[in-house]
Amino acid sequence: MTKEIWKPVEGFEKHYAVSTTGRVKNITTKKLLKPHFKNYFRVSLYYIKPHKNPLVHRLVAGAFLKNPFNKPEINHLNFARRDNRVENLEYASRKENVRHAIKRMPRGENSYLAKLNSQQVRAIRGEYARGKIRLADLAVKYGTGFANISAIVLRKSWRHL
């Protein structure tokens, strides 16, 4: 386990510090700030008007990571948005960040968006290939939309099958 290191928050150097573990504290009072979570952790910094609510991972990256290529986004390597340890963060381009997310994205029936399972997808493709049923009729039969059935038949979705 590495030692927690503290550095001043950029723009608030006299008032706040951020650590390698993703904690933020008020330098004057020595109290830790309680982050609030809305998609990502944020903290409220008050020494300027209006107050700021920066993302904690941005504070950590700004204090501890170099960004020689001026990449605009910060990627959570383990996909956990609540894990703001410096070793879990890296600067990334939009393209790199999206590719990283896609690697982990559940496919097929493991996706929370899935309305069908693998067996049903194979049946849809088989029925359509035999030419005896229209896409609209398949959509009604399987309780999903026409666009979904079309994407399955054209292999734009469920490509792994």
My answer on whether 147 and 121 are in the same domain is: yes
Tell me the pairing of strands 24-26 and 16-19: antiparallel
Q: What gap in Å lies between CA 16 and CA 104, rounded to an integer?
A: 35
Question: Tokens for 121?
Answer: 């997808």
Using alpha carbons, list the distances in angstroms from residue 127 to 53, 114, 138, 155: 54, 20, 8, 14
pLDDT in tens, 68-98: 999 999 999 998 999 999 999 999 999 999 9
pLDDT of residue 1: 62
How many domains is the chain partitioned into structurally? 2
**Helical (H) or strand (E) element with 26:** strand 24-26
My answer on whether 52 and 113 are in the same domain is: no
Three-class DSSP category at 32: strand
My answer on whether 117 and 96 are in the same domain is: no
Centroid of chain to Cα 145:
27
Q: What gap in Å lies between CA 20 and CA 7, rounded to an integer?
A: 8
Question: Ramachandran region of residue 93, left (φ > 0), alpha (ψ -120 to 50) or beta?
Answer: beta
The residue segments making up the domain with residue 51 are 6-104
Q: What gap in Å lies between CA 118 and CA 98, rounded to an integer?
A: 26
Three-class DSSP category at 147: helix
pLDDT in tens, 3-41: 999 999 999 999 999 999 999 999 999 999 999 999 999
My answer on whether 46 and 97 are in the same domain is: yes
**Confidence band, pLDDT 50/70/90 cuts, at residue 119:** very high
Task: Tell me if 159 is assigned to some domain.
Answer: no
Looking at residue 93, which CATH number applies to its domain?
3.90.75.20
